[in-house]
Structure 1
Amino acid sequence: MSVRLKLTLSYAGFLMFAGVLLLAAVWVFLLRYVPDRALIVPGSTGVPVQEVFPIRSSLLRVFAPRAAVVMAFLLVFGLAGGWILAGRMLAPLTRITGATRLASTGSLSHRIRLPGREDEFRELADAFDTMLARLEAHVAEQRRFAANASHELRTPLAVSKALLDVARTDPDHVTGEVIDRLHAVNTRAIDMTEALLLLSRADQRSFAREPVDLSLLAEEATETLLPLAEEHGVTIETSGDIAPTLGSPALLLQLTMNLVQNAIVHNLPEHGTVWVNTTISPESVMLTVENTGKQLTPQLVSTLTEPFQRGTERVHAGHAGVGLGLTIVKTITRAHDGTLTLTPRPTGGIRITVELPAIIPPTDS
């Protein structure tokens, strides 16, 4: 049976049950206050002899058929009224079901926008609209990412093919130069593939969680990237508190390495500075990496976490990267239930803050 029919039968059954209780109460009341028999005295009613009149039996003969009529009316009224009420109550659910069917066919732009007062159906419809909006945005992001990734991966393959064609058709071409360029192109393709795999792993949250101290990761990242900083003439300053959180040490180290490396590479041509700081609050820990550099607009900063967004102002010779550094940071942060904030510095450069849930120590009872 459909839900509407079930509700109709439930309404009618309840109404019938209430009618039976009401009629039973009336009958009990009559039995209580109406005597079983009445004695008729001669001369009081014109009856010549004394007679005993059965009141209850006569009342039952009159009451029973009328009660049956009332019960039949309640049954018809309950079925008809229950069918109408159930239809009105389930109308919002019908709209939600229609939107679900449209979404199952791939149409994610449809919204329910259920009118009326705030009730359970309205909350369900609003929650479903919110889910559709997020799903539509996620699908659009994945499509853009797939298109960009296909383009970026096709580029080194096309370059490799062109270099091999040149080497095959030009016997006088310097083989060492072709090999060096092929090595660089293949290295870039490998780096991009590894970055894509890391993104997929972080986005699926297929990793074990354990206690991690962000301050130790910051120290490890700065020590590892110190030669790169010296090569670019950049000074790294590390400070902060112990910042315990729960997550994947490998992924969080990759996050820290990406932030510090970006801060080094995208800096002033000389005498640049990178600041790495960790702080802790009652409910969260924060890793902040900021650097000197060119003046950035809020509009540009808002696009830096998009995949393959490498403006000319972000690329240095020999260190262009694959355009996924901050995208990986964003994905790892989201996989650890954190937030990523990018803010341009007034004097140039950028401040990037990663906020993650802190490990709350147990309180003594």
Structure 2
Amino acid sequence: MGRQPGLSVRLKLTLSYAGFLMLAGTLLLAAVMIFYLYFLPAGWIDTNGNFWIDRKLLLRTFAPFMALVLAFLLIFGLLGGWILAGRMLAPLTRITDSTRMAANGSLSHRIRLPGRSDEFRELADAFDTMLARLETHVAEQQRFAANAAHELRTPLAITQTLLDVARKDAQHDPRELADRLHTVNTRAIDLTEALLLLSRADRGSFAREPVDLSLLAEEATETLLFLAEEHGVTLETSGRPAPTSGSHALLLQLTTNLVHNAIVHNLPRQGIVWTTTDAYPGTVVLTVENTGEYLTPQLVSTLVEPFQRGTERVRTHHSGVGLGLAIVDSITRAHGGILTLTPRPGGGLLSTVRLPVTGADGHLRGPH
């Protein structure tokens, strides 16, 4: 939220209390002046015009008056200071109330503190930004939990149906039942492992080591060569060494997921997948590009959300569990990188992963 520059809270408090003390001093001097002008006893000046002081008379006459003035200044100072402090710290009270509401689980409210920019308003704006991010994160987690529960319930429901049919039909071939149960169980295991991998990537709990993305690209391509041949897809891999630092297992999973996604979501026949790596000052780049159906930018923007499967949520034998690109995005962010998905003009998808580069000394270079 843009604000016009204003005085800081410290300067405002300094000016306020300094002004109040000046006012109190002025009142004190005025009281003394009034006392000497209007209440000074005539016996304090002799017939020659010399000024003399009777200490007992001064103590008896002046001290009670000053005591009354000081008492008045004390009460006035307490009340004035209380009012000034309350006015200056009112924004902090709003921030505190909002913090309590957030602690009780309400993330939809915002402080929206009015006025020009100062320390309190910067704090309020930062708190509003944090609440917005937390609300978005909680909504994503709730949506993810609902989708995960739905996806996990499906294989369990299929298993229950198969078992009910087998129990009612004594003539049912047990080998066919075992094959179907094996397929469903494999799907459930794959989904569970994908959820665990996604959670591990989000936590960032992994050891870092030097990794070359070009070698990972070759390994992923060799691993998925059989799947590509089955789908009639040609794999082309090229590029320069792309050294970075991170988890070898997670970055291999990232590369494999991208190539797997490019193979499965491709043309029925004669599809192509291009996997390239490159290195620039401060950045290494992994690019996976594939032919395929035409994708709109609106659809591409949702592909990193869990359980999204391209143009429709229809499963095929190798379509995966709908977490491939979500895992890629989480692994990329855990390594300080950026994942970019762009629809190709002729159909298909261009996936680009940018990670910090590693120098010869093994340290990361560039932003991460």
TM range (shorter): 0.7 to 0.9
Q: Which amino acid aligns with 1:333?
A: T
* Inter-CA distance 73–242: structure 2 relative to 1 (3 Å threshold): farther
CA contact (8 A) 1:283 1:360 kept: no
Alpha-carbon separation, structure 1, partners of 2:315 and 2:265: 7
| Aligned mates of 2:357, 2:213 — CA distance in 1 | 10
Letter in 1 for 2:89: L
Name the structure 1 match of 2:303. Answer: 304
TM value normalised by structure 1? 0.81
Q: What secondary structure is seen at the aligned counterpart in 1 of 2:309?
A: coil
What is residue 32 of structure 1 aligned with on the other side?
none
Residue 94 (structure 1) aligns with:
93
Q: Deviations over 1:132-163 (max 9, x none)?
A: 11111111111111111111111111111111
- What does 1:258-337 correspond to in 2, within 5 Å? 258-311=257-310, 317-337=316-336
Q: Counterpart of 2:190 in structure 1: which amino acid?
A: D
The letter of the residue matching 2:273 is V
Counterpart contact for 2:236–2:273, Cα < 8 Å: yes
Say if 2:119 is the partner of 1:120.
yes
CA distance in 2: counterparts of 1:201 and 1:261, whole angstroms: 21
Q: CA deviation at 1:194?
A: 0.3
Q: What is the identity, as a one-letter code, of the residue corresponding to 2:277?
A: T
One-letter amino acid of the counterpart of residue 160, structure 1: T
SS of the residue 1:358 aligns to:
strand
TM-superposed deviation, 1:78 = 2.5
**Cα distance in 2 between the residues matched to 1:214 and 1:56:** 97
- Count how many residue pairs are aligned between Structure 1 and Structure 2: 330
Superposition deviation, residue 284 in structure 1: 2.2
Kindly state the Cα deviation for residue 66 of structure 1 after the two structures are TM-superposed. Answer: 6.9
Equivalent residue letter for 1:325: G
Q: Is the 8 A contact 1:108 1:132 kept in 2?
A: yes
Aligned match of 1:169: 168
Tell me the distance in 1 between the aligned counterparts of 2:339 and 2:263.
19
Deviation of the 1:244 alpha carbon: 2.1
Relative to structure 1, is the Cα distance of residues 52 and 222 closer, same or farther in structure 2, using a 3 angstrom cutoff? same
Unaligned runs of 5+ in 1: 1-6, 27-39
Query: Which structure's CA Rg is the greater one?
Result: 1
How far apart, CA to CA, are the structure 1 residues paired with 2:73 and 2:287? Answer: 72
Distance 2:180 2:300 in 1: 32
Counterparts of 1:59 and 1:271 in 2: how far apart (Å)? 115
Could you give the per-residue CA deviations for residues 161-217 of structure 1, whole angstroms, max 9, x where no partner exists? 111121121121122211111111000000000001111111111112222222221
Q: Could you tell me how far 1:320 is from its partner in structure 2?
A: 2.0
| Distance in 2 between residues matched to 1:262 and 1:292, nearest whole Å | 11
Instruction: Indicate the residue corresponding to 2:219 in structure 1.
Output: 220
Structure 1 vs Structure 2: percent identity of aligned residues?
74
- Measured after TM superposition, the shift of residue 240 of structure 1 is 2.1
Distance 1:284 1:66, change over 3 A: farther
Compared with structure 1, are the counterparts of its residues 65 and 280 closer, same or farther at alpha carbon in structure 2 (3 Å cutoff)? farther
Match of 1:210 in 2: 209
Aligned AA (1:95): R
Aligned to 1:3: none
3-state secondary structure, aligned to 2:79: helix
Moved more, 218-227 or 320-329: 218-227
Task: Rate the CA distance shift 1:59–1:290 in 2: closer, same or farther, 3 A.
Answer: farther
Quote the Cα distance in structure 2 between the aligned partners of 1:66 and 1:46: 27
Distance in 2 (CA, whole Å) between partners of 1:190 and 1:252 is 21
Report the equivalent of 2:229.
230
**Do the aligned residues in 1 keep the contact of 2:299 with 2:311 (CA within 8 Å)?**
no
Contact 2:303 2:310 in 1 (8 A): no
Q: What is the identity, as a one-letter code, of the residue corresponding to 2:247? A: S
Partner SS for 1:196: helix
Q: 1:148 maps to what in 2?
A: 147
Aligned to 1:34: none
Task: Report the alpha carbon displacement of residue 64 of structure 1 after superposing the two structures with TM.
Answer: 6.8
Q: Give, in whole Å, the separation in 1 of the partners of 2:106 and 2:170.
A: 56
The Cα shift of 1:67 comes to 6.1
TM-score by length of 2: 0.80
Question: Are 2:342 and 1:343 aligned?
Answer: yes
Task: Structure 2 unaligned segments of length 5 or more: list them.
Answer: 1-12, 33-44, 364-368
Deviations 1:292-349 (A, max 9, x none): 1111111111111111122555757421211111111111112222221110000110
Paired amino acid for 1:206 = S
